Copies of this chain bind each other. A is one copy, B any other.
Amino acid sequence: MTDPKLDRLKTLVGEVDDLRKASTVLFWDQRVMMPPGGAQARAEASATVARLAHEKFVAPEIGELLDGLNEADYDYDSFEASLIRVTRRDYEKATRVPPELVGEMNRASALGLSAWEPAKESSNFETLRPHLEENLELRHRYVECFDPPDETYDVLLDNFEPNMKTAEVREIFDQLKEELVPLIRELGEAGEIDDSFLHGEFDQEAQRSFSLDLLQRFGYSDEEWRLDETTHPFMTTPGHRDIRLTTNFRPDNLSSLFATMHEFGHGVYEWGVDESLAGTPLASGVSLGLHESQSRTWENLVGRSRSFWRYFYPRLQATFQSQLGSVDEEAFYRAVNKVQPSLIRIDADEVTYNMHIILRFELEQDLIEGRVAVADLPESWNAKMQEYLGVDVPDDAQGVLQDMHWAAGGFGYFPTYALGNVISVQIWERAREDLGDFDERFERGEFDELREWLREHLYRLGRKFTPQETIQRVTGSPIDAKPYVRYLREKLAPQAV
């Protein structure tokens, strides 16, 4: 880099990046390590660091530097062009919204979250209702800060899946709905699969040890990763080469194995971002959809595959001899792939999960477009649950109150989960074209070639290109639901035979 303006820009966004890393450590520590007594001081410290990061990013100097820089002076694929392009887009979005509104949104979000937990606990929607109304009202004011979109929801979606339009998501989800509703019915009619052996007593230390062995096969090392316990698992990266996974070793089932692989997928995406992007806004996954595609790849495409369990199941049996000693590999494989409509999104199987998302996506649009009043949300929720999954919602705790996202104002977030599923199989198929079938490798416990292919083709790109450009570059085509639906059918339809 020779342009001093570009050097200066890099310095300034590097400073913002440092503050964001500090925020990340504060957040991780709060969730994983902090004694409860530290809550108040931490809330203040976190708010100050986040505010300073925002102030530093929207500083006029960054705007002036961007005015004086032209991405067209550099090769489109270059670091320089990407840095200018991405920073410009982030800057324009960030400066559109007055700091007062940002403050109000953060405050309403914190209050909503505080109200959510007791509301869920007591299954009392009415106590959360005013917070949802306030959050929605603020989202309308937020939307007004931008040029008029095709659909109001576009502006919200853009915060999680940049550049994507609501109409595009709708088209994909309509395809999914059309295919999955009958598939779920077929699978339901085929009779119950026995998964009773997945419930019982599972020593948590043994789960931890098995999970670490598994992660090490994937590419985890103590040199660059951590695995800790928390109630709601998440992944975060306080720095390049410092990847923190969390999981929840439940004493009575084996769900932690899949949660751990899920978080590994998020972690390995961040881990694989090219070193040259470190310390810039380019150094992370490009969208929540792409991120979820990788968590789902490692959790489902790898971690619920037959060949994966060919290698790991004997080891798991040896670890939990009394619970699994008499369960054969095929029975275990079918159990961890059991499809069954249920009430709770985060416990849902690979197929019905998508319907939970589609329901939320549709209701979010209804809310933001004023077609459904917040007061009527539980009723709409319950009706759609019946329509899409055939289940009756007994109370709001197990219905509309189950997730924290809306309480925190996170409208537009949910669709990225199902988009991730769709994208995961597109990328997977492309990797298989290059590398050949994975089964033999997985059966030997070898995952390095897959991981390195993903790093080379996806992870290293970070945020250099838009999500759409990234998908196009990795897969050779735009986002497309067909491979995913085909994958589900091929994998699961035999169970219905």
Contacts and interface: CB of A to CB of B under 8 A. Distances in A.
Contacts of A240: 37-38, 40-41
Contact of A238 (B38, B222, B241): B38
Contact of A18 (B18, B36, B45, B241): B45
Contact of A223 (B35, B42, B241): B35
A48 B238 contact: no
Interface stretch (A20-28, A345-353, A405-413): A20-28
A35 B279 contact: no
A242 B38 contact: yes
B19 A48 contact: yes
Interface in A26-61: 26, 29, 33-38, 40-42, 44-45, 47-49, 52
A147 B278 CA distance: 44
A126 B239 CA distance: 35
B15 A48 contact: yes
Interface residues of A, number: 37
A195 interface: no
Given A40-B239, A239-B38, A239-B40, A45 B33 contact: no
A226 interface: yes
A42 to B, nearest CB: 6
A144 B27 CA distance: 42
A223 B37 contact: yes
B37 A224 contact: yes
A142 interface: no
Contact of A25 (B26, B35, B44, B243): B26
Nearest to A56: B52
Given A34-B242, A42-B242, 5 more contacts: A19-B52, A22-B49, A29-B29, A35-B242, A41-B278
Interface of A: 14-15, 18-19, 21-22, 25-26, 29, 33-38, 40-42, 44-45, 47-49, 52, 222-226, 238-243, 278-279
23 contacts: A15-B48, A18-B47, A18-B49, A19-B48, A21-B42, A22-B45, A25-B45, A29-B238, A34-B238, A35-B224, A35-B241, A36-B224, A37-B223, A37-B240, A37-B242, A38-B241, A40-B239, A41-B239, A41-B240, A41-B241, A41-B242, A45-B238, A52-B52
